[in-house]
Chains A and B, each alone.
Chain A
Amino acid sequence: MAVFGALGFAAPWLLAGLLALPVLWFLLRAVPPAPVRRKFPAVSLLLGLKDDEHQSDKTPWWLLLLRMLAVAAVIIGLAGPVLNPDSRQNGRGPLLVVLDATWASAADWRGRIARLEPMLAEAGRNGRSVAVLSLTAPAQVTFQDASAVIEGLPGLVPAPWSPRFDVVLPDGNFETWWLSDGLEYEGRGTLAEDLAARGNLTVFETGRTPVVLRTPLAEGGEVALTAERLRPGAAEEMQISALGPDPSGVERVLGTATAQFEAGATEATTNMDLPTELRARVGRFAIDGLRSAGAVTLTDDRMQRREVALIDGGRDREAIDLLSPLHYLRQALEPTADLLDGSLEDILLANPDSIILADVARLAPQEEEQLLEWIEGGGQLVRFAGPRLAASDVSRDAEDPLLPVRLRAGGRSVGGAMSWGDPKTLAPFPDSSPFVGLALPDDVDVTSQVMAQPDPTLSERVIASLADGTPLVTRKAHGAGQIVLFHVTANAEWSSLPLSGLFVQMLERLSISSRTERPDAAQLEGTTWQPAQVLDGFGRLQSGDSLPGVAGTNLFERPLGTDLRPGLYESEGRRLSRNLIEEDTILAPVVWPASVTVQPLVAPDSQPLGGVFLTLAALLLTADLLASLAVGGRLRRGVAATLAGLFILSVPVETRAQEDMPSVPDDQILAAGEVTFANILTGDATLDALSLAAMRGLSRTLFDRTSVEPSEPRSVDLERDELAFYPLLYWPITPEQQRPSDAAYAKLNEYLRGGGMVLFDTRDADTSRFGANSPEGQKLRELAAPLDIPPLEPIPEDHVLTRAFYLLQDFPGRYSSRDVWVEAAPEDAIQIEGMPFRDLNDGVTPVVVGGNDWASAWAIDDAGYSLRTVGRGYTGERQREMAFRFGVNLVMHVLTGNYKSDQVHVPALLDRLGQ
């Protein structure tokens, strides 16, 4: 680096480029400015005129100056100018670099190493030997060549524990640089004095203040989170995230909260809303964007509330609470667990962590099966004995799958008024027991219990026993879960165990309940905890599989170190976390002796100016661009185009959501609002008019005779009109009809599936039986082929059409043929003896097919007179009446489905009941 006064250049040879500027001046002068294009009709008069001189108009001097300045700024900017370049380092002799290397320096660790590296390199260039001493992982100090030390720098990582100061210093005098993390530790002052005695001691500190996350406190649905920083500073916001697996096991952010440091405050508290379900899944809380073990807090059972279901056998017993088998369990579990009540079947759906059966002897086979399945999947069944269990035969001869042992009949009573012997006390817990280490209170005695049958497997299933060796608590594994039996009741009837603190501790050990406070050493006595996940100094989780287990007494007592890392520890299905920052951790800023010089690690006065010059060059070039456009007469167009572009980009297009709604014609609204019948247009004008008149006649008949009051009928075009509004479509068939389009067929099928009905009328019943090869019949087959029509059959005698309103036997129109077809009844419909009709309760036939020319019989004119004659004289009118009745029945069938089919059963049912 070349230094001129206060200005240094990283690449000074680039400045030689400035010499080229005068050359550039002449070059730029030689090139004329871009010509102005002008529209000028009188150009015809100019043709042939020659310029006097060949020298063009010169580029204006100010434009040239602008360009020269821009180029000069680029050259200077690229030369890497630095204001007040760092030119420290004037020591001699060996150099010892002491690193605190703790989690507190992890947040800016990379910056520290990056800063340290050039410092060491400079020392190396000055011929000094160098050594690095990491206080969190002290090793033998040997002074080496600087390059060798620099190679080892990336291997240095911050540790998630405190530094040690009992290090062995090398002989001789040396200069010391101490990269401190800014925290006060015991013994730091002593080491500083020792180091100062050996030579010059310089302490480097970064401006970064360590921030830690305190142990979260769960209160109701909220978790109180406290962040603390070492030194008060400006107001600051920190986002804290709760991380944990989602139901599929992928780690996700389960909740976030923002902690707000007030200016001058060192603590910031916030509450995070976390429902219990979510809270149970939270694995750790972490301050976002802070790579430090101090900013991470692992959660354990203390944060989680287990779901426990309580079921007792005496639900019908009207007893006072204190005698309830569940009372003491409820009292013990309520503060720490979520209790579920309800029937076993409902509870199993909720998949609780544990189910407690208090004095339940037998379960229904299905319940038993489900319960076993749940245990196999990892559930824990805890059973308490009681009078019912003792009196039952359960697990008498063969082991019941839901009990860990076989039981003797009746149980036993000791120490009562009518029995010999004293109440029994508890024996110390065996080593294999989950209760090992729990202190035995003296006042726990047992007066009654159920007795286990001696078995080869009994001894390994006992996890607590009485002083006389009889089992008190037994368990067996089943699948991934386990079954635990307390041989006493869950209330104080048989023993005083439920009254003691031991009961609660036992429940804890069985992870039925979980503590919200940190257990002390005595409670952890005898347990061994295996690290599941441990934190490194950056706050990253690593697997703890390869690390040795930790004795329960040491878990919270020993200081953290290589053999006890902060992390999550597991034992017997319980999980505890040892965090870097526990409730009692105190953060204090370091106070150095007055003799020690403290320097900021990053030289603040060295300011690279390259960016400033390059920005200046960019601005100058922009100005040059605008000026060139102005000189060339294009400025207005260019600027206008730019502005227009910006305007188009920035102006949102105004749209309204309502504009997308299709407008609905009034007649469709009317058709949808009332019952409306329609005929399908065939293209034959006479027939279409007749069909519409027929619909009018049918509508009027319905209006007169029934509560169906249809509105004016309509003619629909299959291609254009919406069909969904019409319950019944009348479709007369003519041989000349156009086949509808595919879209119309799709619409028709939709209509039929949606419950609509089409009445096909071939109008040829006088000449042809249905199914014969009349032209209309053929056309009908062609038309109906793409339709989604179920199998058909001629109307059976018991079809609901025969009785939907009128009782009918045939269905005449203008012609009286019995060939009218409807959807076939299911094959398995059988007529019950004595019943008039088959039990056909489902569906409305989507099509009715016939050839009776109903339109001619129904059609009336505006005055109400019939348009076509039917038959002759009175019989003809009778036939027309029947045709109308068929129409009424048809509409009733469409509108009410098989309602009439149900009604007809009533007399038969009454008859059967003997009334």
Chain B
Amino acid sequence: MTEAPHLRSRAEVLAAAYPPLLASAERLAANVQLGDHGRKRAGAGEAFWQYRQLQTGDDARMIDWRRSARGEEQFIKQREWQIAQSALLWVDQASSMNFASAQGLPSKADRARLIGMATAVLLVRGGERVALGAVLPPRRGTGQLERIAGALVQDRPDDYGVPDLSPMVPNSRALIVSDFLGDIEPLKKVLTRAAGRGIRGALLQVLDPAEEEFPFRGRTIFESMSGGVRHETLRADTLRERYLSRLAERKAELADVALQTGWMVGHHHTSETAQGALLWVYQAVQGST
């Protein structure tokens, strides 16, 4: 299993190539969370906004003495009002993800975690609050990164993962990374609910090349990773066409669901580089403003 600090460091390396990912601050006004999205007006925040003359009703301790000492008048230092957005992250950790068709290829889980973690790094660096499924509530800061990394490296025993965006912070952004090979109905439900709350985001389907090509022959028993589901065939090569059509069907279904809910769908193969996938995620989150 990937060790948490290791995952974190690899994700940081991957994310280093990108400017901090500032999730589009759509409808920030309603989402009253402090963050790095400057509101172009004075308020609670960290960045300097303006000096303003002391007015009646201002507290004496608010006076910025350094500035006031230069002249006759007293000034108050104001900071920009900054609001953060929440990002919901869900990475499939079910055993179906622990599959790599060849030696040297990373497993799907490995790749999904890396992309998910890199996204989290970018988001946190941009000052966002990141939640990991139902496990970690949205918080900010590097401490959250460590918690996410720790939670990501755990495996789940069930065959296929069910997306879970439990915090359902309204109007937040979401990223779901999975192979979407399990039942698609729960996903539909989650996405419908999320769309109802104004959550928008991206689905990233991570697949192994073998799942895309089905290069098998001869008498074969196919088993799911935990062995719970199995299918025996006498000649695997005759199944190829029908398998590929089913896979295409599944992708189309995903695209349908996404279209209905305003989400984006991306596909990624473990044989490709993680950079490409991260770039897509970056654009998906940036571009859907």
Contact = CB atoms under 8 A, between A and B. Distances in A.
B249 to A, nearest CB: 9
A49 B243 contact: yes
B235 interface: yes
Contacts of B217: 57
Interface stretch (B10-18, B221-229, B274-282): B221-229
A41 B97 CA distance: 8
Contact of A43 (B208, B223, B234, B250): B223
A49 B222 contact: no
A43 B235 contact: no
Given A35-B220, A38-B220, A38-B223, A43 B230 contact: yes
Nearest to B227: A39
Given A37-B221, A37-B223, A52-B238, 10 more contacts: A35-B221, A38-B216, A38-B222, A41-B108, A41-B160, A41-B208, A41-B225, A42-B181, A43-B224, A43-B230
Contacts of B242: 49
Interchain residue pairs A-B with the least CB separation, the first 8: A41-B96, A56-B234, A43-B222, A40-B222, A35-B219, A42-B211, A45-B246, A46-B231
15 contacts: A32-B219, A33-B219, A38-B222, A40-B222, A41-B179, A44-B224, A45-B181, A45-B246, A46-B222, A49-B233, A49-B243, A51-B234, A51-B239, A52-B235, A53-B234
B219 A40 contact: no
Contact of B219 (A42, A44, A57): A57
Nearest to A47: B231
B218 A57 contact: yes
Contact of B218 (A36, A43, A52, A54): A36
A52 B239 CA distance: 8
B220 A43 contact: no
A55 interface: yes
A43 B182 CA distance: 10
A35 B223 CA distance: 12
A45 B117 CA distance: 29
B234 A57 contact: yes
Interface in B186-243: 208, 210-211, 214, 216-225, 229-235, 238-239, 242-243
Interface string B79-120: 000000000000000001101000000001000000000000
Contacts of B210: 40
Contacts of A33: 218-219
A36 B221 contact: yes
A38 B183 CA distance: 21
Given A40-B224, A41-B224, A41-B225, A46 B235 contact: no
B219 A45 contact: no
Interface in A648-666: none
B219 to A, nearest CB: 4
A464 B51 CA distance: 153
Contact of B181 (A34, A44, A49, A55): A44
**Max chain B C-beta neighbours (<10 A), residue from A33, A35, A42:** A42
Contacts of A52: 235, 238
B181 A51 contact: no
B216 A56 contact: no
Nearest to B239: A49
**Max chain B C-beta neighbours (<10 A), residue from A34, A54, A56:** A56
Contacts of A51: 233-235, 238-239
B229 A43 contact: yes
Contact of A35 (B179, B183, B214, B232): B232
B9 to A, nearest CB: 28
A42 to B, nearest CB: 4
Contacts of A44: 160, 181-183, 224, 229
Nearest to B211: A42
Contacts of B179: 41-42
Interface residues of B, number: 38
**Max chain A C-beta neighbours (<10 A), residue from B218, B225, B230:** B218
Interface of A: 32-47, 49, 51-57
B62 interface: no
A47 B232 CA distance: 9
A56 B243 CA distance: 19
A322 to B, nearest CB: 102
B32 interface: no
Contacts of B159: 41
Contacts of A43: 222-224, 229-231
Nearest to B101: A40
Interface in B167-193: 179, 181-183
A54 B224 contact: no
Interface string B261-281: 000000000000000000000
B99 A46 contact: no
A46 B218 CA distance: 15
Contact of B235 (A34, A45, A47, A57): A57
Nearest to B220: A36
B44 interface: no
A46 B223 CA distance: 10
Interface in B11-51: none
Contacts of B230: 43
B243 to A, nearest CB: 6
Nearest to B247: A45
Contacts of B250: 45
A33 B236 CA distance: 14
Nearest to B228: A43
Given A33-B219, A35-B219, A37-B221, A42 B232 contact: no
B232 to A, nearest CB: 7
Contact of B223 (A32, A34, A39, A56): A39
Contact of A56 (B108, B181, B231, B235): B235
A64 to B, nearest CB: 16
**Max chain B C-beta neighbours (<10 A), residue from A34, A37, A43, A55:** A43
B221 A41 contact: no
Contacts of B247: 42, 45
A55 B218 CA distance: 11
B220 A41 contact: no
Contact of A45 (B97, B108, B223, B243): B243
A876 B243 CA distance: 108
Contacts of B182: 44
B223 A40 contact: yes
A57 B216 CA distance: 13
A111 to B, nearest CB: 57
A45 B160 CA distance: 12
B106 to A, nearest CB: 14
Contacts of B214: 42
B210 to A, nearest CB: 8
Nearest to B97: A41
Contacts of B181: 41-42, 44-45
A44 B159 CA distance: 10
Nearest to A33: B219
Contacts of B97: 41
Contact of B231 (A36, A39, A49, A55): A49
Nearest to B179: A41
A680 B222 CA distance: 73
Contacts of A41: 96-97, 99, 108, 159-160, 179, 181, 208, 211, 224-225
A148 B57 CA distance: 143
Interface string B44-70: 000000000000000000000000000
**Max chain A C-beta neighbours (<10 A), residue from B179, B234, B239:** B234
A261 to B, nearest CB: 61
Contacts of A38: 216, 220-223
B226 to A, nearest CB: 9
B161 to A, nearest CB: 11
A326 to B, nearest CB: 95
Nearest to A36: B220
Nearest to A41: B96
Nearest to B94: A41
Contacts of B183: 44
Contacts of A42: 179, 181, 211, 214, 243, 247
